[in-house]
Amino acid sequence: MTKRLLVANDLPGIGKVALAASLPILAACQIETAILPTVLLSSHTGGFPAVAVADMAWLVKDYLTQWQQLELTLDGLLIGYCRSAELLEQLQVYAQHENVPIILDPVLGDKGKLYTGFDQDYVASMRQVARQSTILLPNLTEAALLTDSAYLGEDYGRDEIEHLLRKLADFGCQHVILTGVSFDESEIGLAYYDVRQDKISYHMTRQLPYHFFGTGDIVAILVAAIVVENLAFETALPEVLDFLEASLVSTSQLARDVKYGVYFEPHLAKLSQQFEQLRNKG
């Protein structure tokens, strides 16, 4: 059966983060999409000058109104960057109405700080969505904000990560994935907590000496693909990390400014094969 994922995220024209990365990657996984651009931008905001921005929140209600009238089968809703509590609530209500699982990338901040434009009320709204989500995928900053605990910074051990995963599980999700976890300079990756089985595992890639843009978005979209296809996380997550690492190596070999985005395109064919194999196994 063909699966369809609703992806609510921002869409930059240049820089390939968020929706711009999600669509080709989902297509490679043979997953159809319902596309909800929350914000349009001429490029992402990480280092480009004079970015043109249009907030599309005003249109979202009309999108969802139309979609409710269609015979649209949806298998999941990935929530990424939203700019208002109202938008989060609209998506939450829609997911409830359509009875689809929410995969939540709780975009709130990075490096210990809330992104500009967000406040504690917005964090509280994000907690509300987290309580209704099947999967929660925060970075360490977002995990601290959601659980109202101190940001772990750059120096932490497994005990602290595992404590944080368990606190996040209190939101009631079945799966929690902490992104950007690194215990030493050579590796970075994910800490995954399978709540029902009370099992924690780590999935790491080689850490390259660059700050790439959109790696969290790539992880989120592939995790959403795993959810809608109902694949086993334990076997699928290593494929996610392999795809990411290969893409980052290709990006670094381009010798261009990394702000132009992750060069994942050469690896889509292999990703497609790996997903097909996982689907057949499942």
Query: How would you label 170-182 residue by residue, b for 16+ Cβ within 10 Å and e otherwise?
Result: ebebbbbbbbbbe
Query: Between 129 and 195, whose beta carbon lies closer to ligand PXL?
Result: 129
- 181 contacts ligand PXL (rule: CB under 6 A): no
Of the ranges 30-38, 39-47, 226-234, 273-281, which one interacts with ligand PXL (CB under 6 A)?
Answer: 39-47
Residue with tokens 């395109």: 265
The reply on whether position 10 binds ligand PXL by CB under 6 A is: yes
DSSP class of residue 260? G
Please check whether residue 39 is in contact with residue 81, taking contact to mean a CB–CB distance below 8 angstroms: yes
> Phi/psi zone of residue 6: left (φ > 0), alpha (ψ -120 to 50 degrees), beta?
beta
Mark residues 187-226: x for contact with ligand PXL by CB under 6 A, - for none: --------------------------xx-xx---------
Provide the 3-class DSSP secondary structure of residue 41. strand
In the complex with ligand PXL, which residue's Cβ is closer, 9 or 274?
A: 9
CB 272 within 8 A of CB 230: no
Q: What tokens appear for 223 in the block?
A: 């995790």
- Work out how close the CB of 129 gets to ligand PXL at its nearest, in angstroms, rounded to a whole number: 18
| Stretch 65-104: interaction string toward ligand PXL, x if CB under 6 A | ----------------x-----------------------
From residue 102 to residue 141, what is the string marking binding to ligand PXL with x (rule CB under 6 A)?
A: ----------------------------------------
The Cα 32–Cα 147 span in angstroms is 33
Query: What is the residue whose two structure tokens read 């939203």?
Result: 82
109 versus 214: smaller Cβ distance to ligand PXL: 214
Binders of ligand PXL: how many residues, by CB under 6 A?
A: 13
Q: Are 6 and 79 spatial neighbours (Cβ–Cβ below 8 Å)?
A: no
Nearer to ligand PXL, 169 or 218 (CB): 218
**Rounded to a whole number, what is the distance in angstroms from the first to the last CA of the chain?**
13
Site membership for ligand PXL, residue 16 (CB under 6 A): no
Q: Minimum distance between the CB of residue 115 and ligand PXL, rounded to whole angstroms? A: 9
Give the 3-state secondary structure of residue 191. Answer: strand
Question: Residue numbers of the site for ligand PXL (CB under 6 A)?
Answer: 10, 12, 17-18, 41, 44-46, 81, 213-214, 216-217
